[in-house]
Amino acid sequence: MARVLVSDPIDNAGVERLSAAGHEVDVKTGLKPEELEAIIGEYDALIVRSETKVTSSVIDKATRLQVVGRAGVGVDNIDLDAATGHGIAVVNAPTGNTIAAAEHAFALMMSLSRNVAQADASMRRGEWTRGKFMGVELRGKTLGVIGLGKVGSEVAKRAVAFQMNVIAFDPYVAEERARSMGVEMVDMDRLVSETDYISIHTPLTSGTKSLIGEPEFKKLKKGVRIINAARGGLVDEALLDAALKSGDVAGAALDVFTSEPPKDMPLLSNEKLIMTPHLGASTEEAQVEVAIEVVDQVMAVLNGEAAPYTINVPFVPAAVREALSPYIPVATLMGRLAIQLSDGQLDTVAINVAGDISEYDTSIIGAAALVGVLAESSDVRVNLVNAPLIAKDRGINVVQERESEALAVYSNYVGIEVRTSTGTMYLGGTSANGRVHLLRINDFYLDMEPNAPYMLFTSQIDQPGMIGKVGTIAGSHDANISFMEVGRDSPRGKATMVVGFDDQLTDAMVADIKAIPGMTSVKLVHQELMTPTQPRLRGA
């Protein structure tokens, strides 16, 4: 039996579930920081929402604490580094509100179709103007779902039931998984240009900010309706306002905003816009589901089991941690690079571990590779515990192999192959002196530390002057090169080059490099897309 402190209100179903399992539960809400610090040492588990601040000072006094549970998604109120340093697992409840969020997005779409909010406001003004609110049917219309994760998938299922044609853009979901839902996977250009409705369900990252921005607004099908119940900032609000006023966009519905609550925004007065105050998860059922989900995560940790939604790190025995820890960042970085260098629909991630470390259970290295591949695509924080589960949910095949022999120069080696609908991308690397070394790109061998803020990965013909031309173009654009590494299969044969830059590269500079005769492929990788804390192992 464990002692559990619930310091923020959660649905009573969660409290009853803990008690039924034999745990002693104290519900003490509204505690001041000093009051929480005074009693936290008596508890094995702590469950919070967003009100309680689990600071390093609190954690320092939590001498018995094994797990902190967040009844919800965000964990900004919990000091993750302090928790990790004390071997305390942090878990959350990211899926309990899935149905609530999906139903709300669908409700917004239906309201847009029939002008429900506008007609209601009109009647409250004493008007009876039926002709002003002519609607459209969903049946036969095309819905474009951006982000086919848990919420997006539920929206798609409901749209299919309403006899809509559903297409989706999500490079991190296998095509077979989409087909099983009656959804066709397409690229972004086709989605924005062919759909009657767009519903967005992606996380907000540096790569998805203004996902519907100026290029997309130029391509939108005239009369489209846009729904965003995911994250504020995914749609450029100023451009949306202009498109609504011009009639290019027939209507929009927002549950989320760049700044919440939104203020001094011209969009707010646009009559073609339906707004709700971030209500996606606000259902009675969702609150019950969230409470039960977080309690189940907490009880799993207390029972010594792996909790699927552990936010920080899994527990690994000290001997295994010492052997494998240097190769966790290798696998993660290889995965992050490989997915950025790939095109098409993700199908398979294959992980190869070779050398002395292959004697251990290297599934944790496979999980680290999946963290790298999936981190920027998921609305759930991806970590070593839940990465395999997220990959499975998305229909991604995961293959893991172990070999006893590594490259001659290095005793251990990690290779990651990303297979998509358009081809494969293979990267291999190792750890040397605590640093990640990139040793292989497809069939080309090299040895470098991929540590520049911006990197160009090129494929070209090995010919005189190629390196000089790249350097000249970089100089003309005032971009400082930090390193350059070349690999080739034979003199004047096929070659690859990795060029690191200290400065951000412009589209014009990349275009100039692509235009060099003999250059066959140029891919830009932003290190800012690879800045989340590297997953680490914890143990005794």
**Other C-beta atoms lying within 10 Å of the C-beta of residue 175:** 17
b/e 254-292 (16+ beta carbons within 10 angstroms → b): bbbbbeeebeeeebeebebbbbbeeebbebeebbbbbbb
pLDDT at residue 531, rounded to an integer: 43
pLDDT at residue 289, rounded to an integer: 94
466 contacts 499 by C-beta, under 8 angstroms: no
DSSP string, 389-436: HHHHHTT-EEEEEEES---SS-SEEEEEEEEETTEEEEEEEEEETTEE
Q: What is the pLDDT of residues 67-93, one digit of tens each?
A: 999 998 878 899 988 887 787 889 999
236 contacts 208 by C-beta, under 8 angstroms: no
The CATH superfamily of 3-96+285-302 is NAD(P)-binding Rossmann-like Domain (3.40.50.720)
User: What tokens were used for 457?
Assistant: 């990965």
User: What tokens were used for 291?
Assistant: 């409470």
Residue 305 is among the residues annotated as catalytic for this protein: no
506 contacts 473 by C-beta, under 8 angstroms: no
Domain 98-275 part of CATH 3.30.70.20: no
The full length of the chain comes to 540
Nearest CA to 146 out of 243, 228, 251 is that of 228
Determine the angle formed by the axes of helices 466-476 and 507-514, rounding to 10 degrees: 160
**Residue 1: burial class (beta carbons within 10 Å; 0-12, 13-18, 19+):** exposed
pLDDT at residue 409, rounded to an integer: 65
427 contacts 361 by C-beta, under 8 angstroms: no
Q: What is the pTM for the complete model shown?
A: 0.78
**Other C-beta atoms lying within 10 Å of the C-beta of residue 158:** 19
Torsion of CA 222, 227, 232, 234, to 10 degrees: -50
pLDDT at residue 304, rounded to an integer: 77
3-state DSSP of 205-241:
CCCCCCCECHHHHHHCCCCEEEEECCCCCCECHHHHH
72 contacts 290 by C-beta, under 8 angstroms: yes
User: What tokens were used for 10?
Assistant: 């959660």
Q: What is the pLDDT of residues 86-138, one digit of tens each?
A: 878 899 998 888 999 999 999 999 999 999 999 999 999 999 999 899 999 99
The side-by-side arrangement of strands in the sheet containing 165-169 is: 184-185, 165-169, 142-146, 197-200, 224-228, 249-254, 273-275
Cis peptide bond N-terminal to 9, omega within 30 = no
471 contact partners, CB below 8 Å, separation of at least 6 = 481, 484
Torsion of CA 250, 253, 254, 255, to 10 degrees: 180
Distance CA 47, CA 67 (A): 8
Residue 231 is among the residues annotated as catalytic for this protein: yes
| Residue 302, amino acid | L
Q: Which of 137, 260, 285, 359 is catalytic?
A: 260
SS3 for 166? strand
Distance CA 65, CA 7 (A): 14
pLDDT at residue 519, rounded to an integer: 92
In the chain, domain spans: 3-96+285-302, 98-275, 316-442, 451-530
The CATH superfamily of 451-530 is ACT domain (3.30.70.260)
DSSP string, 285-296: HHHHHHHHHHHH
Which segments of the chain have a pLDDT < 70?
313-318, 379-381, 406-409, 527-540
Residue 278 is among the residues annotated as catalytic for this protein: yes
Q: Which of 231, 381, 394, 437 is catalytic?
A: 231
The CATH superfamily of 316-442 is D-3-phosphoglycerate dehydrogenase; domain 3 (3.30.1330.90)
**Residue 159: burial class (beta carbons within 10 Å; 0-12, 13-18, 19+):** buried
b/e 480-515 (16+ beta carbons within 10 angstroms → b): ebeebbbbbeeeeebbbbbbbbebebeeebbebbee
What distances in angstroms separate CA 31 from CA 48, 51, 52, 89, 333, one per listed residue? 11, 10, 8, 22, 42
SS3 for 195? coil
Whether 98-275 shares its CATH topology with 451-530 is answered no
Q: What is the pLDDT of residues 457-479, one digit of tens each?
A: 999 998 888 899 999 999 999 99
Q: Which of 278, 321, 488, 538 is catalytic?
A: 278
Distance CA 126, CA 129 (A): 10
